[in-house]
Structures are given as C-alpha cells and as structure tokens.
Amino acid sequence: MAKKKKDKTPKLQPVSGVIEGAGEVAEQHIVSTIQENFMPYAMSLILSRAIPEIDGFKPSHRKLLYMMYKMGLLTGSRTKSANIVGATMKLNPHGDAAIYDTMVRMSRGYEALLHPYVDSKGNFGKFYSRDMAWAASRYTEAKLDKLCTELFKDIDKDTVDFVDNYDNTMKEPTLLPASFPSVLINSNTGIAVGMASNICSFNLREVCETTAALIRDPEHDVMSTMPAPDFPGGASIVYDDEVMKKVYETGRGSIKLRAKYSYDKSANCIDVTAIPYSTNCESIIDKIIDLVKTGKVKEISDIRDETGIDGLKITIDLKRGVDPDKLMKRLYKLTPLEDSYACNFNVLIGGVPMVLGVKNLLEEWIAFRVECVRRRTFFDLNKKKDKLHLLKGLEKILLDIDKAIKIVRETDEEAEVVPNLMIGFGIDEVQAEYVAEIKLRHLNREYILKRTEDIENLEKEIEELEAILKSRSRVKTIIVKELKEVADKYGQDRKCEIIYSDNDEDDEDVEEIPDYPVNLFFTKEGYFKKITPQSLRMSGEQKLKEGDEIVSAIEFTNNCDLLFFTNKSQCYKAKAYDFKDTKASVLGDYIPAKLGMEEGELAVKMVVTKDYKGFLMFCFENGKIAKVPLSAYETKTNRKKLTKAYCDKFTLSDMIYSADDKEFLVRSSSGRMLLIHSGLLNLKTSRTTQGVAVLKLKKGHRLFSISEYEEGTFSKPSRYRTKNLPALGALPSADDTSEQLSII
C-alpha cells in the first residue's frame, strides 16, 4: 500500500474572542441611501454648479470674472492666462483645466458669445470648429472686456451680498450687480441632475429697449421690440410664429437655424459663411461626404474647409450645370446646415430653479436690479450723512478757532482732549475725534471754510437720495436711464437675419419657366390680368366690372413673384406664370377665388418683385406708418400664404411699395397733407411692427392715403414738409387746390 502524504497546509489557529457583526448581511434601504448620499450631491450640482442665476452667470463664471476684477484687469493691461487661472483657484478649487476652459468660452477669440466678457490675445480656438484647439494658458493673455464695467458697476457699494470662499480666507459675491439683463445677452448651457438649462442669446440693444419698455408699461408686448433671438456666427433664423411665441411664453421650444451661403459663378462653387450655432464645420463636412459616398447627393465634386483669418468658410465645388439653390435646399434637409437650438430657460431665482418665459425672466431681473439700485442709494446716503455729520462738527469749530486751540493746549492728558472738545463745543465723540485729528497747519479759517462750504450741497444730495429711496418709480427711472446708456455704448446690429419660411410644405423642384415681358394689371375689386405687350397693342379698352378701376399696371417678366396683401393682415404669394396670358377684353382672374382666400377676405394691394429689394410702407388709420423690408416676405420654400403680413392691431388705410427712399405725400380725411421722406423712417425687421406715428390727427379723422410725390404738384412744397414727426400737415393752399388733390 502506498503511504498517505502528509498535509503541509498550515492550520489556522483558533482566535480568542469574536469580531462583532462579522459575517452578517446588513439591510440598507435604497430610498434612505439616495436621500443621505445622492440628494446632497444633486442639490449641490443644481445650486452651485450647473444652473445660471438671475445675473446670467454660473458660479464658475462669476468666480473667474470677480477674481479678474480683483486683479485689476478691468482697466489694466493683459496678463498671462496662467496667472488668472492660478488666482481663480482661491475661489474655485476644481482644477486649473476646468477654470481655463471656462475662460476660453467667455473670450473674444473663441467667438461663442455675442458680447464676450474676456478680451483675449493668442490662440483661443473657435466655437464653430471641433478640431481647432486653443493654446495652453501659459501662451495666451487676457483681461476683462469693457462690457464688464457694467457687470461690476457699484459692486463695492453693498449692492449684492458677499460670502466667504471655501476656506474662509476671502469674500466673494453671490451675484454680480449687472446693469443690463446679462442673463439673456449671451448663451448659457448647463446640465445638472434631473434638470438642465439652455438659454439662447438675444441682441443687447433689443433686450435693453424691451426691458425699458417693460418698466414703463408692464403690459408691453415683448415680441414687438425683441422679435427673435440673435446668435453668434450670424446664421439665419427660420421664423415660425407659433414656435417663437411658445419660447417667449414658456421658456421652452426649438428654434430652427439655417446656414448662409453665396454662389461663386466664376468658380462654380458654394461658399458657406455662417452655420447654425448648435453645430460645427467638421460635422457638416463629414455628413456631406457620407451623402456623396452613399450616392444620395451626386451634384458635388469636392468639399473643403477654407476657414482662415477672415472667418468661417466651407467651400462646396459643384459639377457642371447644377442649380446651387436647389442643392442647398436638399442639403438643408439632409445635413446640419439646418439645425435646431433647443431652448430651456431654467434659471435659479432665490435659490429655486424655475423655467421662465422671456417676459417673466425680464420681470425677475427688474426686481433684482431695483434691489441693487436701492442698496446702492442707501449706501451713498449713509456715506453722505456721515460726512455731513463730521462737517457739522467742523462748522462749530469755525465759530472760535482760538478756543479750540486753547482747549487742546491746556489739557493735561491726551485722553482728555476729545472729552474737553465735546464739552467745549457741544459736539459728539465722532465729531470731536475728527477735529482732534486735524493738523495744526489746517486750523485756519480758509481751510475750515473750504471744508464746510459743501454742507448745503450735501444736504440737497441727501434729500435727493432719501426721495429716491421712498419712490419706486424714481428707482425704475434710474434703471431705464442706465439701460439706455448701455444700449447706446455697447449695442450692435443683429447678426442673425430672420427668414419667414413655411415648415409644413415640402420644397419642390422648380421647372424651367419661359421668361418674357408681360404687363400685369390689378383692379380695385381684386381682378388680375397678365397680358403680353403684343396682345396689349392689338387690344382695345380694358374690360372691367361696373364701378371697378385699375389700381396697379406694371411692366415685368413672366418669371416673377406676385404678392397679394389682404384686408385680414395676410399675404398670398404666387408666380406670374401661374396665370394664363389673357386679353384686355376679359375680366381676368378673381384673386380671392384663384388663391383660395378665406371667406370675406379681399386682396387690397399687389406687389411685384424678383429680387425682394426695396420696402413696403403700411399706413394705418391712426396716423402710424410701418416701414418693412420686402425681404421679410422672401421664403426659401414654395410657401403660398403668409400670416401676420402686417400689424393687425390697427386698421390699414393704404400701403405702397418703393425700391428706394424718396418723398411721399400722406393725406388725412380732414384734407390736410404732409410730405415725408421715407429715409426718416427706420426699417423694422418684424413684419408685425406697429410702426411710428407720422400724422397727427384731430378727433374723428383718419390717415387716408399715401402716394409718391411728383415734383411740381405743389407750388410751395416746403409748406407741407416738416422737420419733426408726428406732424399735423397743412391744408392745401388756393394755388394747390385741384381735382387731383381733393379728398373724397
């Protein structure tokens, strides 16, 4: 038999004593675990990191900008970005990389903000390029941009609360006392736990004007002065009235952005010069390359990124005979050249996250700014009261300087000087301390008179400050004044143009249409005729319904756009080739029936165009005139009907089209006439603008009509001109009275 091997495994020695709880499985409820461990983290992320507050900043932005302010970078020269990052870690100990990334996104070089807060020098990358990385912080320099003057205005006057930093070594502000609604000026994105924030940017001038109007009139229509957001980069906004209203009212919605392009005929290529804010060059190029490889797009021979010192540029080379506009319509559908920006206006208000519409957000900012101005006024008031109190004590010394010197000289102990002065002149300890500290060389009548002559002015200033504190309306007046100053100083034109387009109808390929000269006629009753010049020469008189008359007779070509404006604030679009060539001996097409207008809707004006240049002037019975560019009615799609073609709040009395600025004759039902130059009226991007008051009207009268002024109509035209609008106009003189000028 084989011998059994010995087990050489070391034996465990018995342990004396028992480990309490060893081997037991403890139950832990998921609800309590989340409450104790996860919820504090989630709340910290929401309140202290990801969601912006009413001043428009997240804590990381605010800490960085405040530290740059403390470093003297608001007025001083630029410093290395590494210095700024290092200093900011005193307030934000989350690592230098995160701080530098934050600064890059706020810089002028990165171009991600409409109004950058950091004036940068060096390579800061570009927001529209995924591969264009920024240089390290040791290579770049930065300082605060001039706009930051408005962010830190009066921050040292107790306008906002300050708290200790993470190690209690310095103070930092909880908010910045921005003198303009910075929360809507620049885009801001944050992702927290269970919620997110995505605020789009708006034009600074429009925001300031809207806020001022809202302060004056709480019922002000925000969309009338702030028609749409404005994004860096300058892509076009495809305007949808319902979607835009939803964004403005609820703070949620999706805004469609479309790239801008131009066609270079000599090189047969498309140059894309502006892309949607929510995408980048590389994503667009990659998608187009995929479409070409899969054979879905065959018209493109090459694509390349030519972005350089002049800005963004994507060049698309076309094959011979390709229609660039048709190709771009397809690319808008198939690539990020047309993209959406999802709005979610989630802001912390008093530590509570709220999703607010534009108007509600501005109202919250107004309340915040009112408190800032009141606190600043209270601070100034206390400072002036303290100064006045000291000067009052000094004034009493003026009565007897020798007595004051005698009291000081004859006092045995230094500690008794202040009490003796208090007794000798009847002043309190603060005033006596101030007098006792005055140098001997200043104890003369001239010095004291100079110091006390400001007492009267100080008393007036204190009275003014107390009046401001008592009146909320005066505080709001100050805010309005500051908003106007900001708008005038830092305002800039819109970067994004607004395109009114139909999202429901598909684009259709336009067939080749023969283009030849035609004469277009439109009558008062709404009948339309298209007659060739040859047929017109051979025809006799125009056939019209009884009482009807021709109001528009235009020579144009067959391949042009016709815009018919109706009495229900709508515009119907058609092509001239949609109508058959006819003769003068027929009535023509009845436009309301031909274009399928609503019941009771009548066509009141026809405008003919090809390039959508020029402008329209809408005249309302209340004396206002709205000047709208014709390009506002241009659509990329074959849209047939445009709602809200002009303001429907007032009754339209007349309208006129003009290719360029000139003089027009405006007439009222009272017989008064006014000559105005259209250059005095500003173009409004919104079709529904209410216009500006031009004609003053007496009770019971209305603006009657508008027409181009022809030289020689009046013997003294200066009689009907005015320097200021609105104006009353003038009654026709005996020399100017004629059948043509009579008002029926």
Give mean pLDDT, residues 178-198.
90
Lowest pLDDT segment from 148-152, 206-210, 387-391, 717-721 = 717-721
Residue 45 has pLDDT above 80, yes or no: no
- The more confidently predicted of residues 540 and 461 is 461
Give the span between the Cα atoms of 425 and 433, in whole angstroms: 13
Helical (H) or strand (E) element with 432: helix 429-436
Query: How many other CB atoms are there within 10 angstroms of residue 210's CB atom?
Result: 25
pLDDT in tens, 681-696: 888 888 888 888 888 8
The pLDDT value given to residue 7 = 55
Across 456-612, the runs of DSSP E, i.e. the strands, are 498-500, 517-523, 527-531, 550-557, 561-566, 571-575, 589-590, 603-609
Residue 503 has pLDDT above 60, yes or no: no
Give mean pLDDT, residues 131-148.
94
Give mean pLDDT, residues 520-536.
91
Could you tell me if residue 492 is left (phi over 0), alpha (psi between -120 and 50 degrees) or otherwise beta?
beta
* Exposure b/e, 603-637, CB count within 10 A at least 16 = b: bbbbbbbeeeeebbbbbbbbbbbbbbbbbbbbbbb
The pLDDT value given to residue 9 = 52
What distance separates the 2 farthest-apart alpha carbons in the chain? 149
The pLDDT value given to residue 18 = 57
The pLDDT value given to residue 541 = 83
The CA distances from residue 180 to 184, 349, 351, 433, in Å, are: 9, 17, 21, 43
CA 120 to chain centre: 23
For tokens 């609008």, the residue is 725
Spatial CA neighbour of 54 closest among 66, 62, 64 = 62
pLDDT in tens, 248-303: 999 999 999 999 999 999 999 999 999 999 899 999 999 999 988 887 888 899 99
Contact 183, 199 (CB under 8 A): yes
For tokens 């206002």, the residue is 624
The pLDDT value given to residue 357 = 94
Residue 427 has pLDDT above 80, yes or no: yes
- The more confidently predicted of residues 16 and 169 is 169
Collect all residues with Cβ–Cβ distance below 8 Å to 319 and sequence separation of at least 6. Answer: 298, 299, 300, 301
Q: What is the pTM of this model?
A: 0.66
**Residues 650, 656, 657, 661, Cα dihedral to 10°:** -100
Per cent of the chain over pLDDT 90 is: 51
The pLDDT value given to residue 456 = 85
pLDDT in tens, 30-44: 777 777 777 777 777
Residue 11 has pLDDT above 70, yes or no: no
Please list the active-site residues.
139
The pLDDT value given to residue 113 = 94
Retrieve residue 7's tokens.
Answer: 């087990």
CATH numbers and ranges of domains, the chain: 57-175 (3.90.199.10), 178-255+352-498 (1.10.268.10), 260-336 (3.30.1360.40), 500-720 (2.120.10.90)
Looking at this protein, which amino acid is placed at residue 579? F
The pLDDT value given to residue 381 = 95
Residue 647 has pLDDT above 60, yes or no: yes
Give mean pLDDT, residues 340-355.
92
Give the span between the Cα atoms of 710 and 126, in whole angstroms: 54
The pLDDT value given to residue 513 = 59
The pLDDT value given to residue 719 = 85
* Average confidence score pLDDT of the chain: 87
Per cent of the chain over pLDDT 70 is: 93
